[in-house]
C-alpha cells in the first residue's frame, strides 16, 4: 500500500480531482434522493425485472426467455429480441436488487438500481481526467473534469433522472477510443507487437464489450478506431488490423458471456440487432441541428461560449491543430452527426458522447491558450468561467429539492 499512495501516484492533483468527483457523486445522490413519486417508468421496471430474472436463472434478458409474462410485457410490443441492447444492459442495473430484494415503491430500490451508474459515472470522470491530464497537463485535466462534474446532462445520465442508462456505454466508448490511440502509439516501439500490447488489447476488448453490449449501434465506433489507428501507424497496417481484430473478438466473447453462454439466443439476438436507425434525409432539416444544439447546451451553458470559441481557435491557430486536440473533436463531430441523422431516438446516447469528447477538446484548447498567453491571467479567467458554470449547475440542482 505504501508504494501505491506515494507522492508520484497520489498527490495534490489526484486529491483535487477526487474532490471534484465527490461533488459529482453528491449531485447524483441529491437527484436520487429527490426522485418524484411515480418516477419509475414501466419500461425501467420491466428492464430491471428481466435482469433480475436472469441473475436468478429465469431466462436471458433481452430475449423471449427473459419474459416472465410475454403477453403483458411492454418489450414484447416491439420485438421478442431486444434490437438495441444485449443482456449486459439489463444485468448492470438489476445486479444490486438481485442480491438485495427491494420493492420498487421503496426508496432503497432507487438507490440500489442507480448505484451502479453513479459508480460508472464517477469512473468515466476519472478516466476523462486521466486522459486529459496526460494529453494537456494539469490545466487540461482540471478543465475537462470540472466541465464533466458540473454537467447537468452527465449527472442526469448517471443518476437515471428521466434518462435511460447510457453512461455505461459512454464509458466503454470513451475507453475504446483512447485505448486504441494508446495501442497505436506503442506500435513504434521495437518490441513484439502482440505480446507487448496484450494488456491494452484486453482493455480495448473490455471497453468494446461494455460499449456495444450497452448499445448495439456503438459498433459503429469500430471503423472509426481502425481509421485512427491506421493514421497513427500507417506503416504497421497488419499489426493494427490484428490488434483491433483480436480486441473485437475479446469484446464479442464477453458479450456472449452476458448471454450466459447460450449460443442459440446469442445468434438470434445478433441477427435481430439494429446497428443503425438513422436517415440521411434528416441532414436537410434545420430543426434537427437546433435540437442537437439544445441537447449540447443542456450539458452546461459554458459550452455556448467555450465550444464555438475552441473550434474557432482550432481552425485559425495552427499550433492547436495537432492530433491530441483534433482526435476528440473528430469523435465529437462523429457522434453529433449520428445524432443529427437519428433525431427521433429518445434518450440518445450520441449527444452524451458528443458532449464528453467535446469536454476533452475544449480542455486541450484551454491548456494551449494558458501556455500561449499570460499564464496567471489565463488561469484566472478559466477558473472564473468554470466556477460560474459550477454555480449555475448547483443552483439548478438545489432548486429541485425545494
Q: Report the distance separating Cα 208 and Cα 210, nearest Å.
A: 5
Cell of 266: 446469442
Judge if pTM exceeds 0.85.
yes
Residue with cell 483491433: 244
Rg (the chain; Cα; Å): 21
CA 126 to chain centre: 12
DSSP 197: T
The rounded average pLDDT for each run of 10 residues, N- to C-terminus, in the chain (402 residues) is 49 89 95 78 87 92 79 62 93 91 81 95 96 94 96 93 92 97 82 66 96 96 97 91 94 97 94 89 88 87 88 90 94 95 85 96 93 80 89 81 60
pLDDT at 77: 59
State the virtual CA torsion across 334, 335, 337, 343 in degrees, nearest 10. Answer: 170
pLDDT at 378: 79
Q: Contact 67/73 with Cβ under 8 angstroms?
A: yes
**Which is nearest to 352 in space by CA: 78, 166, 144, 110?**
166
pLDDT at 78: 63
pLDDT at 193: 52
Cell of 75: 418489450
CB atoms within 10 A of CB 387: 12
pLDDT at 229: 96
Q: Report the distance separating Cα 308 and Cα 361, nearest Å.
A: 11
Cell of 395: 443552483
State the virtual CA torsion across 88, 209, 147, 298 in degrees, nearest 10. Answer: -60
pLDDT at 374: 74
Cell of 259: 448471454
Alpha carbon separation from 153 to 121, 148, 256 (Å, rounded)? 12, 9, 31
Question: DSSP for 211-223?
Answer: HHHH-GGGGGHHH
φ and ψ of 312, to 5 deg: -65, -45
Question: DSSP for 295-310?
Answer: HHHTT-THHHHHHHHH
Amino acid at each position: 500500500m505504501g508504494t501505491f499512495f506515494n507522492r508520484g501516484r497520489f498527490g495534490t492533483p489526484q486529491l483535487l480531482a477526487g474532490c471534484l468527483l465527490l461533488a459529482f457523486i453528491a449531485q447524483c445522490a441529491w437527484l436520487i434522493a429527490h426522485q418524484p413519486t411515480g418516477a419509475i417508468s414501466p419500461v425501467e421496471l420491466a428492464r430491471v425485472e428481466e435482469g433480475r430474472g436472469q441473475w436468478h436463472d429465469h431466462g436471458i434478458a433481452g430475449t423471449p426467455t427473459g419474459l416472465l409474462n410475454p403477453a403483458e410485457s411492454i418489450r414484447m410490443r416491439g420485438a421478442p429480441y431486444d434490437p438495441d441492447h444485449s443482456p449486459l444492459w439489463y444485468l448492470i442495473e438489476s445486479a444490486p436488487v438481485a442480491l438485495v430484494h427491494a420493492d420498487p415503491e421503496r426508496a432503497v430500490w432507487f438507490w440500489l438500481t442507480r448505484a451502479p451508474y453513479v459508480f460508472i459515472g464517477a469512473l468515466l470522470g476519472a478516466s476523462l481526467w486521466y486522459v486529459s491530464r496526460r494529453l494537456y497537463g494539469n490545466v487540461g485535466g482540471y478543465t475537462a473534469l470540472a466541465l464533466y462534474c458540473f454537467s447537468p446532462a452527465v449527472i442526469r445520465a448517471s443518476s437515471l433522472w428521466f434518462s435511460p442508462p447510457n453512461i455505461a456505454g459512454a464509458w466503454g466508448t470513451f475507453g475504446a477510443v483512447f485505448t486504441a490511440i494508446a495501442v497505436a502509439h506503442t506500435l513504434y516501439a521495437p518490441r513484439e507487437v502482440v505480446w507487448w500490447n496484450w494488456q491494452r488489447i484486453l482493455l480495448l476488448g473490455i471497453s468494446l464489450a461494455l460499449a456495444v453490449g450497452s448499445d448495439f449501434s456503438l459498433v459503429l465506433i469500430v471503423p472509426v478506431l481502425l481509421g485512427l489507428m491506421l493514421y497513427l501507424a500507417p506503416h504497421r497496417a497488419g499489426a493494427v488490423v490484428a490488434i483491433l481484430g483480436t480486441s473485437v473478438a475479446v469484446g464479442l466473447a464477453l458479450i456472449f458471456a452476458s448471454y450466459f453462454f447460450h449460443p442459440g439466443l446469442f445468434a438470434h439476438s445478433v441477427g435481430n440487432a439494429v446497428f443503425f436507425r438513422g436517415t440521411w434525409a434528416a441532414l436537410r432539416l434545420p430543426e434537427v441541428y437546433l435540437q442537437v444544439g439544445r441537447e449540447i447546451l443542456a450539458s452546461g451553458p459554458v459550452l455556448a461560449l467555450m465550444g464555438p470559441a475552441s473550434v474557432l481557435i482550432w481552425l485559425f491557430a495552427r499550433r492547436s491543430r495537432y492530433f491530441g486536440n483534433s482526435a476528440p473533436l473528430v469523435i465529437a463531430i462523429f457522434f453529433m452527426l449520428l445524432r443529427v441523422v437519428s433525431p427521433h431516438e429518445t434518450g440518445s446516447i450520441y449527444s452524451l458522447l458528443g458532449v464528453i469528447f467535446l469536454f476533452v477538446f475544449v480542455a486541450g484548447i484551454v491548456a494551449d491558450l494558458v501556455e500561449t498567453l499570460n499564464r496567471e491571467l489565463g488561469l484566472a479567467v478559466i477558473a472564473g468561467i468554470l466556477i460560474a458554470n459550477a454555480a449555475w449547475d448547483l443552483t439548478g440542482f438545489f432548486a429541485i429539492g425545494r
